[in-house]
Amino acid sequence: MKETILCVLSQTNDAERSLVAALEGFVNYEILASKQVAGFSRSQWSRAKMVIFFPGIKPGEEGNADPGQLIKSLPVRELPILAVVHMESTSGEVMERLLEWGVKDVLDVTTPISLLKSKIEVLLRAKQKDDRIRQLESEIDQRRRGTENAQEDFSGISQLMADSKDWDFLCRVVSQSGPIHRQKVNIWLLRVMAFLLSKFSAHFQKNISPYALGALDVNEAVDRYVSRIHPLGDRHPHHEMKLNIPVQLPTRILNAIYSEDSLNYARTISAIFEGPPHEVVMNMILMHGFEQFLDFLEGEKNE
């Protein structure tokens, strides 16, 4: 469905009707007119990109009872408003009030249609810029909230790392980089992992401790396994990056699963390191968590 330009007509005189009719051929927009704000449906408002307001101030006519109240009643406040008035009978005081009420610009009802269209295009371009700025502000705010979320304790997971600085780095990578939806999912996964680690630790009465068995350095794994699975011409762009990740990949579980299947062992390690850094780091954290769960279970068996 086309986006709309809504025309609010306080009077139904020939000048207003002719302007609305001339605008109906406006490229890419549907022009809708009504004598009341309530005359437009919710769907029409949702598709609206701007409002053209005709206060109807003309000699011999009664103007709109309260243009300010009408403007304030618009259900979508951030839309640009263009007022089309009879300049010869509109006082400077009224013009000032229109601008105070939020009207972006005021034109005379006799303005040539070409100039009116040009003014509409200028206001629509400004609206696009404003929308983009609001979108960026929203993204910044979401990232700020993500940063606040990243300050959560997650103490169970942090104990998996021998150095608290390593954990701080990993936590920042998975909770503050990549798409917003990925950051939120990563934070939720960290919460789940921390919750389960604390439950397992209490149940088995065993402390959470850093993994201390066989492990692979990240870049060693990329060189040895990614190059084996992905020939140079088929590699993901991220495979050519040197990943500065301060922890190693634990391999005890992988060795147990693929003890007699070296090809799938290599494929799995390659998959762990595919994708951008925030995905690789999350894979590493999960593997360290899985190894800790195995420690709890192996400890119960040994006892």
Query: Which tops the pLDDT comparison, 46 or 60?
Result: 46
At residue 62, the pLDDT reads: 43
Q: Looking at residues 79-103, what average pLDDT do you find?
A: 79
Tokens of 69: 């109240």
Residue 105's DSSP bridge partners are: 82
Contact 70, 38 (CB under 8 A): no
At residue 13, the pLDDT reads: 64
CA distance 222 to 284: 13
At residue 10, the pLDDT reads: 63
Reference 86, options 58, 117, 116; nearest CA is 58
Query: Which tops the pLDDT comparison, 285 or 58?
Result: 285
Predicted confidence (pLDDT) at residue 180 exceeds the cutoff of 70:
yes
At residue 58, the pLDDT reads: 43
Question: Residue 25: which residues within 8 A CB-CB, separation 6 or more?
Answer: none
Q: Is the dihedral of CA 170, 171, 173, 174 positive or negative?
A: positive
What are 48-88's pLDDT values in tens digits? 888 888 765 443 444 444 556 666 666 666 788 888 887 77
What are 143-174's pLDDT values in tens digits? 655 555 445 557 678 888 877 778 888 888 88
CA distance 135 to 47: 17
Domain boundaries, the chain: 3-134, 155-302
Q: End-to-end CA distance of the chain, in Å?
A: 69
Q: CATH topology for 3-134?
A: Rossmann fold (3.40.50)
What is the DSSP secondary structure assignment for residue 73, as one 8-state letter?
A: T
At residue 42, the pLDDT reads: 80
Give the predicted TM-score (pTM) of the model: 0.49
Q: What is the mean pLDDT of the chain?
A: 77
Lowest mean pLDDT among 23-37, 50-64, 106-120, 186-200: 50-64
At residue 114, the pLDDT reads: 84
Helices of type H across 227-275: 227-229, 252-257, 262-272
Predicted confidence (pLDDT) at residue 262 exceeds the cutoff of 80:
yes
From residue 180, give the alpha-carbon distance in Å to each of 144, 153, 175, 194. Answer: 11, 20, 9, 21
CA distance 301 to 78: 65
Lowest mean pLDDT among 24-38, 113-127, 166-180, 182-196: 24-38
CA distance 200 to 137: 41
**Most confident by average pLDDT, 37-41, 46-50, 243-247, 282-286:** 282-286
At residue 218, the pLDDT reads: 73
Confidence of residue 253 (pLDDT cuts 50, 70, 90): very high
The rounded percent of the chain whose pLDDT value lies above 70 is: 76
